[in-house]
Amino acid sequence: MGPATVNGYCAPEFAGVREAFERNFGEHGDVGAAVAVTVDGAAVVDLWGGHADADRTRVWERDTLVNVYSTSKGMTALCAHLLADRGELDLDAPVARYWPEFAQAGKQDIPVRWLLSHRAGLIAPSEPLPPGRAYDWERVCADLAATAPWWEPGTAQGYHAVTFGYLVGEVVRRITGQSLGAFLRSEITGPLGARVFIGTPVEEHASCADMIGQLDEARLGERLPGVPKPPFRSITDHPLTAVLLALTYIPTGDVNSAAYRSAEIPAGNGHATAHGLATVYGALACGTLVGPATLEEMRRSQSLPGEHDLALGALAPAGFEHRWGLGYLLNHHGLAGPNPRAFGHGGVGGSYAFADPENGVSYAYVMNKCGGGTTGDDPRNLGLIAAVYAALEGVRG
């Protein structure tokens, strides 16, 4: 197979980013991908290349959408923060103020803040849901409202891999009367002209790339020998129980199906272009989406020093800390460049997007060949981000 054709725009000063992007196809197995970078609101990189399917019959275009898994969480969290910025949502108020049914099973005092920071203990419903239930918003939310927390809320953080989107999304829905995806389009991505969807319209399905090597939650346990099979009674059943709870209790099915693309699963089925994600994070980096106080609150650490994440921690390298802001991963390990105040979110497979307000930078990378995890620690991202900041240093001296 010959080298992938790369198209798009790259400012001369950022030629190193183009070179890193091209290397990803030859050295890291990218099939189809895109990368976009803005500086002070202006696009300096907007590149795409390769193919939108495993058989390489469809060329990747600028408007090709692709499932970005948990990179979606950054968009979902932003919807809540926009409401907080407008004074319509109090992050320290009980969730039950906005969603009365949530008060069941001793959850009446859980604040909205703990939903955003993965501290609510609602990593999964009480019982595994049947296939297809993930597409029934009201049923999933009813199941979560009836579920008792898996640990004492507020005392620990554990990545709510799938439930995050329903929990935050239902608060948004109760306040606005719109689904999370509809609110995102009407208030954020639509006005910005950003191609980012949660609940992708049928007319956009032809623009969607197929994921290659997609996550198969149904078979996750089979790849982890010795792990007990669900249903689980406690997160202490096994060191990896929290991971399995988070990923398998709400099976989302085939991510290349029309049903999946049309559904709203706001923690993990956003479909976006790199340009679209970079546009949204660029607006955050430039301070045009929310006010300065809200921007600071979004990236204020909600984690204790050295705190272990009950789910992601089981899969992380020794010594790796997951530091959560309010819906965002904080740049604790330099994965989003040199600024420790940069923030964003990645997705299983390798997609990643972030804002660096101090440098006026936004970055987004999307792809269809699954590789790394949710933290941005994928060699494709690491090479691209290193090239971005090397170029920026050269430009600014």
Catalytic residues: 70
Side-chain-side CA neighbours of 96 within 13 Å: the count stands at: 13
> 30 CB contacts (<8 Å, ≥6 apart)?
4, 24, 50, 367, 369, 380
CA-CA-CA-CA dihedral for 159, 251, 253, 139, to nearest 10:
-110
> 128 CB contacts (<8 Å, ≥6 apart)?
230, 231, 248, 249, 251
Cα separation, 376 vs 320, in Å, equals 13
C-beta separation of 66 from 277 below 8 A: no
Q: Which amino acid is at 195?
A: R
Please report, for residues 28, 33, 291, the alpha-carbon distance to residue 84 in angstroms, rounded to integers and kept in the order given. Answer: 41, 34, 10
Query: Which among 310, 148, 153, 140 is positioned nearest to 235, based on CA atoms?
Result: 310
Side-chain-side CA neighbours of 293 within 13 Å: the count stands at: 4
Q: Is the peptide bond before 94 cis (omega within 30 degrees of 0)?
A: no
